[in-house]
Structure 1
């Protein structure tokens, strides 16, 4: 699995970005998309499941806060863009998602990141925070049965963006550690 200090692998994937019109439903997203921005890439095992939409919707509700921090959210699974589209059209909590859902059907990005569950062949619940230079600054991975906390991802992003020493449970606006 890639970790802190590794570069985000190159990728070029189809993504579901809209559900209103077939002509604008899909877009290509690459490792070069969103230049100069931080990126939060979070992966889930499968569309049309139970834990996944709770996480995806929670990231969607925080999108404005991530955007205020010059950060692009990118969702990722091994389902196709058509499955993503159908899921969004049929799940009220996912209809208005403000971020792309990447379709890694060939499992190239998932494999390069090292997040494919060997037994199931699907993505683990992995979250990567990538800086504007394409370097991974944070990684967390949950088992398939445990959802993650997008608010914690936002807190970690805030800490990383201070470029200072942040103590345990640090929150944006708290004092950082000053070394004399």
Structure 2
């Protein structure tokens, strides 16, 4: 699995970006959002139970990520047509504000090392990459447990301080770096 310090690999995937006729699909690659932090998160399968709770929560928090100059990219091994059908029929996904990428050849999930060994679908993996595409955070859950979007935001906030942040640190709190500067 790629990890902290590695670069997000090159990719070019079809994505569902809208339900508006004629504007549904777009090609997204690793350079599509230059100058932004990237939050790349994977889910196992469309039309399942845990996945829409996570995807919907990322959608609800989109403005929080935008405020941090971060682009959310959601990915599964389903096709863009399956993503489109799911968004069309699931009320919590209809207005989703970020791209749903289709990794049907499993190239990106394989390159990042997040395919479940037995099921062949993506694990619940989250990568935070800085504007240069360098991975700063990786979190991977097994298929049965959803992730915490608030924790993803907290982690992004901590990295964006570029300072030492203690356990449970929250945006707006003093960092260890600022405490050390005051003590010195």
User: What's the TM-score once normalised by structure 2's chain length?
Assistant: 0.96
1:20 Cα shift?
A: 2.1
Cα offsets for 1:98-141 (capped at 9, x unmatched): 00000000000000000000100000000000000010000000
Partner of 1:32: 31
Equivalent pairs counted in the alignment come to 179
Q: How does 1:105-116 map to 2 (within 5 A)?
A: 105-116=104-115
Q: Counterpart in 2 of 1:11? A: 11
- Counterpart check, 1:47 vs 2:46: yes
Paired position in structure 2 for 1:92: 91
Partner of 1:66: 65
Q: Any gaps of 5 or more consecutive residues in structure 1? A: none
User: Please, which runs of 5 or more residues in structure 2 have no aligned partner?
Assistant: none
> Shift in Å at residue 143 of structure 1?
0.7
Structure 2 partner of 1:162 = 161
**Residues 40-74 of structure 1, C-alpha deviations (whole Å, 9 max, x = no match):** 00000000000000000000000001001000000
**Structure 2 matches for 1:128-139, cutoff 5 A?**
128-139=127-138
User: How many Å separate the matches in 2 of 1:61 and 1:154?
Assistant: 12
Question: Alpha carbon RMSD of aligned pairs, Å?
Answer: 0.6
Distance 2:79 2:142 in 1: 22
Alignment partner of 2:84: what SS? helix
> For 2:154 and 2:148, how far apart are their aligned partners in 1?
10
TM-score (norm 1): 0.98
Q: Which runs of 4+ in 1 moved over 3 A?
A: none
Q: For 1:171 and 1:61, how far apart are their aligned partners in 2?
A: 20
Secondary structure of 2:82 counterpart: helix
